């Protein structure tokens, strides 16, 4: 059985400022670094062999912390990037125009084939590249236990599709900064063959003070 851990990047300055990130970037806050130190300590004893990360800055920072603590190989994969949000990237959510807010809502409310103008990406396109990145874990050496570092919308879209939901499904899965999920590839008498979702959005590694 192949077990793959999934981690959302730590809190960023854009997160605290209420700005839309997409494929633009913002560094981790002190809180964000603390979150990732916590999740890294959580998975340290799980035998992680590879950390594979989105190549955006906030996920790179996250992955470097985890790989250093787990003492494992680190690589980057652009397929794990966040949903491209076009003209909305860098905008504060509470400052959007009515039209811009409708673009944003359509990305999370189940609208089919929604995309933000100015280079935005559809959820179907996001799901395709995220699934491709996950499936690439089969190419790792036998016995590998990889950990993928990605983003909130990207990971929730991936998990939704593994559960058999359309990529554009309403977004109802909460994945906090620094949360831990796991998916397994297996054959089971009582589950469909292939990828199954073992756990999602686990933040048990956060203390009441450092939690988010």
Q: Which residues are annotated as a binding site?
A: 8-15, 58
Q: Out of 50, 73, 82, 89, which one is annotated catalytic?
A: 82
Q: Token pair of 198, please?
A: 């073992």
* Binding-site residues from annotation for substrate: 8-15, 58
Instruction: Mark whether 82 is an active-site residue.
Output: yes
Q: Token pair of 93, please?
A: 């959510």
- Nearest C-alpha neighbor of 178 from the set 68, 31, 70, 49: 31
Q: Is 91 helix (H, G, I), strand (E, B) or coil?
A: coil
Instruction: Mark whether 9 is an active-site residue.
Output: yes
Return the sign of the alpha-carbon dihedral for residues 191, 132, 128, 197: positive
CB 89 within 8 A of CB 23: yes
Q: Out of 9, 50, 151, 205, which one is annotated catalytic?
A: 9
CB 196 within 8 A of CB 188: yes
Alpha-carbon Rg of the chain, whole angstroms?
A: 17
Residues with a catalytic annotation lie at: 9, 82
């Amino acid at each position: 059985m192949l077990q793959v851990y999934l981690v959302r990047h730590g809190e960023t300055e854009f997160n605290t400022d209420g700005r839309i990130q997409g494929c633009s970037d913002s560094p981790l806050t002190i809180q964000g670094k603390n979150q990732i130190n916590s999740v890294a300590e959580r998975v340290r004893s799980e035998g992680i062999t590879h950390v594979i990360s989105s190549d955006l800055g906030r996920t790179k920072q996250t992955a470097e912390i985890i790989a250093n603590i787990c003492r494992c190989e680190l690589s980057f994969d652009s397929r794990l990037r966040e949903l491209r949000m076009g003209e909305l990237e860098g905008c504060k959510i509470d400052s959007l125009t009515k039209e811009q807010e409708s673009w944003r809502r359509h990305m999370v409310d189940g609208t089919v084939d929604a995309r933000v103008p100015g280079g935005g990406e559809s959820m179907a396109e996001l799901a395709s590249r995220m699934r491709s990145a996950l499936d690439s874990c089969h190419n790792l050496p036998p016995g590998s236990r990889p950990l993928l570092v990605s983003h909130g919308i990207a990971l929730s879209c991936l998990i939704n599709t593994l559960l058999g939901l359309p990529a554009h499904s309403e977004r109802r899965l909460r994945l906090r900064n620094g949360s831990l999920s796991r998916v397994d590839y297996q054959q089971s008498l009582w589950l469909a063959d292939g990828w199954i979702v073992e756990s999602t959005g686990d933040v048990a590694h956060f203390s009441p003070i450092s939690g988010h």
